[in-house]
């Protein structure tokens, strides 16, 4: 038999993310009418524990909020924006945005993942009326059915650890139309790294982020480039070691977590690569300071949580970093800068 592909376990982390999302939707922590179409046999999937549902709620609410701010900041300058989701897996954010109040403000939404995952997602999109209706009738397959292009939505296969010039080539030209620029550096662009950079070496992540920062800064009057990262961090303590060992048991390693032992160290990932400003907060702080009290009350009534102390410990080990790179002489927006 052939040795198992070690990347398989990395690709499978998407199943966990999608099932956690489905669970949080079924238990009414968050609302997402699209996730059920992306999870095979959705009605048979077991719920996740309350602690995981709460984590999914905080993470989703915080990232949704930052994305919404980004779209609004862009629209105030009279521009549409582009969003690039790296390691997008079964994420539904495109469908939620494309059916929400900001749908006309997004000119391109590009998702990238391993070829096996993009192929699976394309099949789920084609199977689901809801998903294909939003993508639009003009959607067409490319690269042997591993890529999909529509007027706004693009799904592209790549191994993000490869040299970005190769891995991201389809980003610059739409697969079979080399005259068309897919990623336009004159349009405000947001990069999303939701639970993906921990699976890559710090060198690969830096090279990848650097590619985007070079691609934008080559144009002197480039548009703002923003980034949001959601990830585990600070895994050197005893709780962190338990998290690492649980994943190791499933063949998943976290080469990307080591350089960021504290939440204060997370912004350096961007500040070292020409980004103008960066902030990071743990999910515990986000939950305590930024989620409205009425929303916390609503969540508290959904399920009984007996692991109250463990909840803080888990939320302490996840963080969201957001960062922006502005052209020289541009003024920062207070929400992002
Ligand atoms: N971003 C989605 C979310 O938050 O729901 C999925 C997160 S899942 C934990 C991690 C995803 O990153 C998987 O779909 C995996 O295939 C993808 N991924 C990890 N390393 C990658 C790489 N080197 N190239 C492309 N995709 C990668």
pLDDT score at 335: 63
pLDDT score at 281: 98
Tokens standing for residue 166:
């190769």
- CB distance 204 to ligand 1 below 6 Å: no
* Within a domain: 336: no
* Within a domain: 231: yes
* Within a domain: 146: yes
Task: Report the SS3 class of residue 230.
Answer: strand
Residue 115 · residue 146 · CB < 8 Å: yes
Atom of ligand 1 nearest to the CA of 17: 5
Cβ neighbours, 10 Å, residue 88: 26
* Within a domain: 332: no
Rounded Cα–Cα distance for residues 329 and 332 (Å): 9
Residue with tokens 């949001």: 228
What are the two backbone dihedrals, phi and then psi, of residue 177, each rounded to the nearest 5 degrees?
Answer: -140, 85
* Within a domain: 1: no
> How many angstroms does the Cα of residue 194 sit away from the middle of ligand 1?
8
- For residue 253, how far is the Cα from the chain centroid? 19
> How many angstroms does the Cα of residue 219 sit away from the middle of ligand 1?
29
**CA angle 100–105–111, rounded 5-degree value:** 80
Rounded Cα–Cα distance for residues 102 and 268 (Å): 31
> How many angstroms does the Cα of residue 294 sit away from the middle of ligand 1?
33
* 194 assigned ligand-binding residue: yes
| Radius of gyration from C-alpha coordinates of the chain | 19
pLDDT score at 307: 83
Pairing mode of beta strands 177-181, 106-113? unpaired
- CB distance 117 to ligand 1 below 6 Å: yes
Q: What is the ipTM of this complex?
A: 0.99
pLDDT score at 6: 81
- CB distance 91 to ligand 1 below 6 Å: yes
> How many angstroms does the Cα of residue 198 sit away from the middle of ligand 1?
10
* 160 assigned ligand-binding residue: yes
Tokens standing for residue 55:
């984590």
Question: What angle in degrees, to the nearest 10, is found between the helix axes of 238-248 and 308-316?
Answer: 80
pLDDT score at 136: 96
- Domain CATH number, residue 95: 3.40.50.150
* Within a domain: 210: yes
Tokens standing for residue 266:
């997370």
* Within a domain: 333: no
pLDDT score at 297: 96
- Residue 62's H or E segment, with its range, is helix 50-76
pTM of the model: 0.96
Domain carrying residue 112? 6-325
- Closest-CA residue, ligand 1 atom 16, reads 11
- CB distance 196 to ligand 1 below 6 Å: yes
Number of domain units in the chain: 1
Pairing mode of beta strands 106-113, 81-86? parallel
* Within a domain: 97: yes
pLDDT score at 172: 73
- CB distance 17 to ligand 1 below 6 Å: yes
Concatenated DSSP letters of 65-112 = HHHHHHHHHHHHTT--EEEEEET-TT--HHHHHHTSTTGGGEEEEEEE
> Which of 21, 178, 167 is CA-nearest to residue 84?
167
pLDDT score at 180: 61
Concatenated DSSP letters of 160-220 = TTS-HHHHTHHHHEETTEEEEESS-TTS-EEEEEES-GGGS-HHHHHHHHHHHHHHHHTST
Phi-psi region of 125 (alpha: psi -120 to 50; beta: other; left: phi over 0): alpha
Predicted confidence pLDDT, tens digits, the chain (337 residues): 556 788 999 999 999 999 999 999 999 999 999 999 999 999 999 999 999 999 999 999 999 999 999 998 888 888 899 999 999 999 999 999 999 999 999 999 999 999 999 999 999 999 999 999 999 999 999 889 999 999 999 999 999 999 988 888 877 765 455 556 678 889 999 999 999 999 999 999 999 999 999 999 988 889 999 999 999 999 989 988 988 998 999 899 888 888 889 999 999 999 999 899 999 999 999 999 999 999 999 999 999 998 888 999 999 999 999 999 998 777 776 666 6
> How many angstroms does the Cα of residue 267 sit away from the middle of ligand 1?
21
């Amino acid at each position: 038999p052939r040795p198992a592909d070690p990347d398989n376990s990395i690709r499978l982390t998407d199943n966990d993310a999608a099932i956690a999302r489905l669970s949080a939707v079924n238990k009414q922590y968050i609302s997402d009418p699209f996730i059920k179409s992306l999870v095979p046999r959705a009605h048979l999937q077991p719920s996740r524990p309350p602690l995981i549902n709460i984590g999914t709620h905080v993470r989703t609410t915080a990232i949704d909020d930052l994305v919404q701010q980004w779209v609004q900041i862009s629209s105030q300058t009279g521009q549409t924006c582009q969003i690039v989701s790296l390691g997008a897996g079964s994420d539904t954010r495109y469908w939620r945005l494309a059916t929400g109040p900001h749908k006309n403000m997004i000119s391109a939404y590009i998702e990238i993942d391993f070829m096996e995952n993009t192929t699976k997602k394309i099949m789920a999109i084609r199977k689901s009326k809801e998903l294909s209706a939003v993508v639009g009738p003009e959607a067409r397959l490319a690269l042997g059915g591993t890529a999909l292009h529509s007027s706004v939505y693009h799904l592209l296969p790549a191994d993000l650890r490869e040299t970005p010039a190769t891995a991201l080539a389809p980003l610059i030209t739409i697969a079979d139309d080399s005259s068309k620029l897919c990623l336009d550096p004159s349009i405000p662009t947001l990069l999303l790294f939701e639970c993906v950079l921990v699976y890559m070496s710090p060198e690969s992540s830096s090279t990848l982020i650097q590619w985007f920062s070079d691609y934008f800064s080559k144009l002197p009057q480039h548009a703002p480039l923003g980034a949001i990262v959601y990830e585990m961090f600070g895994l050197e303590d005893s709780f962190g070691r338990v998290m690492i060992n649980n994943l190791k048991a499933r063949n998943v390693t976290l080469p990307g977590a080591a350089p960021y032992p504290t939440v204060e160290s997370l912004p350096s990932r961007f500040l070292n690569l020409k980004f103008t400003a960066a902030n990071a907060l743990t999910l515990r702080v986000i939950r305590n300071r930024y989620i409205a009290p009425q929303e916390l009350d609503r969540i508290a009534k959904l399920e009984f949580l007996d692991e109250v102390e463990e909840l803080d410990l888990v939320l302490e080990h996840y963080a969201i970093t957001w960062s922006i790179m502005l052209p020289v002489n541009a003024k920062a927006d207070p929400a992002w800068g």
